[in-house]
Amino acid sequence: GNSVTQMEGPVTLSEEAFLTINCTYTATGYPSLFWYVQYPGEGLQLLLKATKADDKGSNKGFEATYRKETTSFHLEKGSVQVSDSAVYFCALNGGSGNTPLVFGKGTRLSVIA
Amino acid sequence: EAGVVQSPRYKIIEKKQPVAFWCNPISGHNTLYWYLQNLGQGPELLIRYENEEAVDDSQLPKDRFSAERLKGVDSTLKIQPAELGDSAVYLCASSDSLQETQYFGPGTRLLVL
Protein backbone atom coordinates (compact mmCIF):
# COMPACT_ATOMS: atom_id res chain seq x y z
CA GLY A 1 0.00 0.00 0.00
CA ASN A 2 0.86 3.67 -0.04
CA SER A 3 3.15 5.03 2.64
CA VAL A 4 5.13 8.13 3.55
CA THR A 5 8.39 8.33 5.48
CA GLN A 6 9.68 11.64 6.74
CA MET A 7 12.65 12.55 8.84
CA GLU A 8 12.14 12.37 12.55
CA GLY A 9 12.34 15.46 14.64
CA PRO A 10 12.56 17.51 16.52
CA VAL A 11 14.52 19.86 14.32
CA THR A 12 15.88 22.96 16.01
CA LEU A 13 17.26 25.82 13.92
CA SER A 14 18.34 29.37 14.48
CA GLU A 15 16.43 32.13 12.77
CA GLU A 16 17.50 32.65 9.12
CA ALA A 17 18.94 29.15 8.85
CA PHE A 18 18.22 26.90 5.86
CA LEU A 19 15.60 24.22 6.35
CA THR A 20 15.28 20.81 4.76
CA ILE A 21 12.77 18.20 5.88
CA ASN A 22 13.12 14.96 3.97
CA CYS A 23 10.11 13.03 2.73
CA THR A 24 10.04 9.86 0.66
CA TYR A 25 7.03 7.87 -0.43
CA THR A 26 5.88 4.52 -1.71
CA ALA A 27 2.83 4.51 -3.93
CA THR A 28 1.07 2.72 -6.71
CA GLY A 29 -0.22 4.83 -9.54
CA TYR A 30 0.36 8.57 -9.73
CA PRO A 31 -0.29 10.24 -6.40
CA SER A 32 -0.40 13.92 -5.65
CA LEU A 33 1.96 15.03 -2.89
CA PHE A 34 1.29 17.52 -0.12
CA TRP A 35 2.91 19.28 2.78
CA TYR A 36 0.62 20.26 5.64
CA VAL A 37 1.60 22.37 8.65
CA GLN A 38 0.12 22.25 12.13
CA TYR A 39 0.73 25.24 14.37
CA PRO A 40 0.31 24.78 18.13
CA GLY A 41 -3.34 24.39 19.06
CA GLU A 42 -4.55 24.57 15.47
CA GLY A 43 -5.69 22.20 12.77
CA LEU A 44 -3.74 21.09 9.73
CA GLN A 45 -3.26 23.70 7.03
CA LEU A 46 -2.19 22.97 3.48
CA LEU A 47 1.24 24.46 2.89
CA LEU A 48 1.87 23.37 -0.69
CA LYS A 49 1.20 20.57 -3.12
CA ALA A 50 2.38 19.06 -6.41
CA THR A 51 0.28 16.89 -8.65
CA LYS A 52 2.77 15.36 -11.11
CA ALA A 53 6.42 14.55 -11.53
CA ASP A 54 8.81 17.54 -11.66
CA ASP A 55 6.12 19.93 -10.39
CA LYS A 56 7.33 22.37 -7.76
CA GLY A 57 4.92 23.50 -5.07
CA SER A 58 5.67 26.72 -3.24
CA ASN A 59 4.10 28.92 -0.59
CA LYS A 60 5.30 31.37 2.08
CA GLY A 61 8.93 30.83 1.07
CA PHE A 62 8.65 27.05 1.34
CA GLU A 63 9.06 24.83 -1.69
CA ALA A 64 9.16 21.15 -2.60
CA THR A 65 9.71 19.35 -5.90
CA TYR A 66 7.95 16.11 -6.88
CA ARG A 67 10.83 13.76 -7.76
CA LYS A 68 9.48 10.55 -9.24
CA GLU A 69 12.93 9.04 -9.86
CA THR A 70 13.83 9.25 -6.17
CA THR A 71 10.23 9.06 -4.89
CA SER A 72 10.86 12.15 -2.80
CA PHE A 73 9.18 15.44 -1.94
CA HIS A 74 11.62 17.25 0.36
CA LEU A 75 10.50 20.50 1.97
CA GLU A 76 12.93 23.44 1.88
CA LYS A 77 13.05 27.04 3.00
CA GLY A 78 15.98 29.34 2.56
CA SER A 79 15.58 31.38 5.75
CA VAL A 80 13.33 30.23 8.57
CA GLN A 81 11.60 32.50 11.05
CA VAL A 82 10.45 31.94 14.62
CA SER A 83 6.88 31.94 13.31
CA ASP A 84 7.66 28.82 11.23
CA SER A 85 7.84 26.73 14.41
CA ALA A 86 5.24 24.01 13.92
CA VAL A 87 4.81 20.35 13.00
CA TYR A 88 5.13 19.58 9.29
CA PHE A 89 3.43 16.59 7.67
CA CYS A 90 4.19 15.10 4.29
CA ALA A 91 1.23 13.31 2.68
CA LEU A 92 0.04 11.71 -0.52
CA ASN A 93 -3.29 10.70 -1.96
CA GLY A 94 -4.36 8.00 -4.35
CA GLY A 95 -4.02 10.28 -7.35
CA SER A 96 -7.60 10.08 -8.52
CA GLY A 97 -10.40 12.14 -7.14
CA ASN A 98 -11.01 12.71 -3.48
CA THR A 99 -9.10 9.78 -2.07
CA PRO A 100 -7.91 9.79 1.54
CA LEU A 101 -4.54 11.21 2.46
CA VAL A 102 -1.76 9.02 3.80
CA PHE A 103 0.44 11.00 6.17
CA GLY A 104 3.94 10.70 7.49
CA LYS A 105 4.48 10.89 11.23
CA GLY A 106 5.29 14.59 11.19
CA THR A 107 8.44 16.57 11.92
CA ARG A 108 8.45 19.15 14.69
CA LEU A 109 10.42 22.29 13.84
CA SER A 110 11.52 24.77 16.47
CA VAL A 111 13.13 28.00 15.35
CA ILE A 112 14.96 30.03 17.98
CA ALA A 113 15.80 33.71 17.77
CA GLU B 1 -15.55 31.71 3.61
CA ALA B 2 -15.93 29.79 6.85
CA GLY B 3 -13.65 26.84 7.38
CA VAL B 4 -14.43 23.39 8.71
CA VAL B 5 -16.07 23.68 12.11
CA GLN B 6 -15.73 21.06 14.80
CA SER B 7 -17.11 20.81 18.30
CA PRO B 8 -16.33 20.36 21.03
CA ARG B 9 -12.67 21.35 20.92
CA TYR B 10 -11.87 19.37 24.05
CA LYS B 11 -13.63 16.52 25.82
CA ILE B 12 -12.74 14.62 28.97
CA ILE B 13 -14.74 11.52 29.83
CA GLU B 14 -14.41 8.40 31.91
CA LYS B 15 -13.90 5.08 30.21
CA LYS B 16 -17.03 3.21 29.18
CA GLN B 17 -18.90 6.49 28.68
CA PRO B 18 -20.24 7.50 25.26
CA VAL B 19 -18.95 10.55 23.39
CA ALA B 20 -19.89 12.31 20.18
CA PHE B 21 -18.07 14.74 17.93
CA TRP B 22 -19.66 17.07 15.42
CA CYS B 23 -18.32 18.46 12.16
CA ASN B 24 -19.68 21.04 9.74
CA PRO B 25 -17.71 21.05 6.47
CA ILE B 26 -17.05 23.96 4.16
CA SER B 27 -20.20 24.91 2.30
CA GLY B 28 -20.54 23.03 -0.96
CA HIS B 29 -17.96 20.36 -0.12
CA ASN B 30 -19.54 16.99 -0.81
CA THR B 31 -16.66 14.86 0.50
CA LEU B 32 -16.13 14.63 4.26
CA TYR B 33 -13.43 12.73 6.12
CA TRP B 34 -12.87 11.78 9.73
CA TYR B 35 -9.27 11.17 10.72
CA LEU B 36 -7.73 9.95 13.99
CA GLN B 37 -4.47 11.51 15.12
CA ASN B 38 -2.60 9.81 17.94
CA LEU B 39 0.08 11.71 19.82
CA GLY B 40 3.24 12.06 17.77
CA GLN B 41 1.68 10.48 14.70
CA GLY B 42 0.16 11.61 11.45
CA PRO B 43 -3.60 11.47 10.94
CA GLU B 44 -5.15 8.18 9.81
CA LEU B 45 -8.46 7.87 8.00
CA LEU B 46 -11.44 6.52 9.90
CA ILE B 47 -14.22 7.11 7.37
CA ARG B 48 -14.92 9.02 4.16
CA TYR B 49 -18.30 10.24 2.95
CA GLU B 50 -19.41 11.23 -0.52
CA ASN B 51 -22.53 13.25 0.23
CA GLU B 52 -24.47 11.07 2.67
CA GLU B 53 -22.87 7.77 1.61
CA ALA B 54 -19.97 6.23 3.53
CA VAL B 55 -17.68 5.11 0.69
CA ASP B 56 -14.67 4.07 2.77
CA ASP B 57 -15.13 2.91 6.36
CA SER B 58 -12.70 0.00 6.36
CA GLN B 59 -10.59 1.56 9.14
CA LEU B 60 -13.52 2.39 11.41
CA PRO B 61 -13.70 0.07 14.47
CA LYS B 62 -17.33 -0.76 14.05
CA ASP B 63 -17.75 -2.49 17.38
CA ARG B 64 -17.61 0.85 19.20
CA PHE B 65 -17.42 3.60 16.58
CA SER B 66 -20.24 4.87 14.41
CA ALA B 67 -20.72 7.85 12.14
CA GLU B 68 -23.48 9.48 10.20
CA ARG B 69 -23.99 12.24 7.68
CA LEU B 70 -27.72 12.12 7.26
CA LYS B 71 -28.34 15.10 4.96
CA GLY B 72 -24.97 15.08 3.27
CA VAL B 73 -23.78 18.17 5.12
CA ASP B 74 -22.68 17.98 8.75
CA SER B 75 -21.55 14.75 10.36
CA THR B 76 -21.35 13.13 13.77
CA LEU B 77 -18.80 10.59 14.95
CA LYS B 78 -19.67 8.58 18.05
CA ILE B 79 -17.76 6.25 20.34
CA GLN B 80 -19.66 3.96 22.67
CA PRO B 81 -18.20 2.85 24.99
CA ALA B 82 -14.96 4.81 25.06
CA GLU B 83 -11.73 3.09 26.04
CA LEU B 84 -8.49 4.54 27.39
CA GLY B 85 -6.80 3.96 24.05
CA ASP B 86 -9.29 6.24 22.30
CA SER B 87 -7.56 9.30 23.75
CA ALA B 88 -6.45 11.20 20.65
CA VAL B 89 -7.35 14.09 18.39
CA TYR B 90 -10.26 13.52 16.01
CA LEU B 91 -9.97 15.59 12.85
CA CYS B 92 -12.62 16.36 10.30
CA ALA B 93 -11.77 17.45 6.76
CA SER B 94 -13.72 18.26 3.62
CA SER B 95 -13.08 18.69 -0.08
CA ASP B 96 -15.12 19.34 -3.19
CA SER B 97 -15.37 17.26 -6.31
CA LEU B 98 -13.31 19.64 -8.43
CA GLN B 99 -10.13 19.75 -6.42
CA GLU B 100 -8.34 17.23 -4.28
CA THR B 101 -7.19 19.57 -1.54
CA GLN B 102 -8.59 18.64 1.86
CA TYR B 103 -9.34 21.36 4.38
CA PHE B 104 -9.11 20.43 8.02
CA GLY B 105 -10.97 21.59 11.08
CA PRO B 106 -9.19 22.35 14.37
CA GLY B 107 -9.96 18.89 15.75
CA THR B 108 -11.49 17.56 18.94
CA ARG B 109 -9.00 16.49 21.59
CA LEU B 110 -10.41 13.55 23.56
CA LEU B 111 -9.05 12.38 26.88
CA VAL B 112 -10.47 9.16 28.33
CA LEU B 113 -9.75 8.62 32.03
Model pLDDT, residue B70: 84
Are A105 and B106 a contacting pair at CB < 8 A?
no
pLDDT band at A99 (very low <50, low <70, confident <90, very high): confident
Which residue type, as a one-letter code, is found at position A3?
A: S
Q: Which range, of A3-7, A12-16, A66-70, B94-98, averages the lowest pLDDT?
A: B94-98
**Are B46 and B55 within 8 A, CB to CB?**
no
Between CA B14 and CA A104 the distance in angstroms is 31
A109 pLDDT above the threshold of 90: yes
Percent of chain A with pLDDT over 70: 96
User: pLDDT by residue (tens digit) across B78-106?
Assistant: 999 999 999 999 999 999 877 678 999 99
Q: Is the pLDDT of residue A51 over 70?
A: yes
Q: B102–A101: do the CB atoms touch at under 8 Å?
A: yes
| Chain A residues whose beta carbon lies within 8 Å of the beta carbon of residue B101 | 34, 46, 49
Res. A103: pLDDT tops 90? yes
Q: Which residues of B touch A43 (CB under 8 A)?
A: 4, 91, 104-107
Spell out which residues of chain B touch residue A100, defining contact as CB-CB under 8 Å: 33, 45, 48, 56
pLDDT tens per residue, range B32-86: 999 999 998 999 999 999 999 999 898 999 999 999 998 889 999 999 999 999 9
B97 lies within 8 A of chain A by CB: yes
Q: Chain A within 8 Å of B49 (Cβ-Cβ)?
A: no
Structural contact between residues A13 and A20, judged by C-beta atoms closer than 8 angstroms: no
Q: Which residues of A touch B40 (CB under 8 A)?
A: 105-106
Q: What pLDDT, on a 0 to 100 scale, did the predictor assign at position B69? A: 95
The answer to whether residues B48 and A100 touch, using CB atoms and an 8 Å cutoff, is yes
- Verify whether the Cβ–Cβ distance A97 to B100 is below 8 Å: yes
CA A100 – CA B87 distance, rounded (Å): 22
More confident residue, A52 or A28: A52
Nearest Cα residue in chain B from A93: B100
Q: Does position A95 have pLDDT exceeding 70, yes or no?
A: no
- pLDDT score, position A74: 98
Distance from CA of B81 to the nearest CA of A (A): 26
Instruction: Give the pLDDT score at B100.
Output: 76
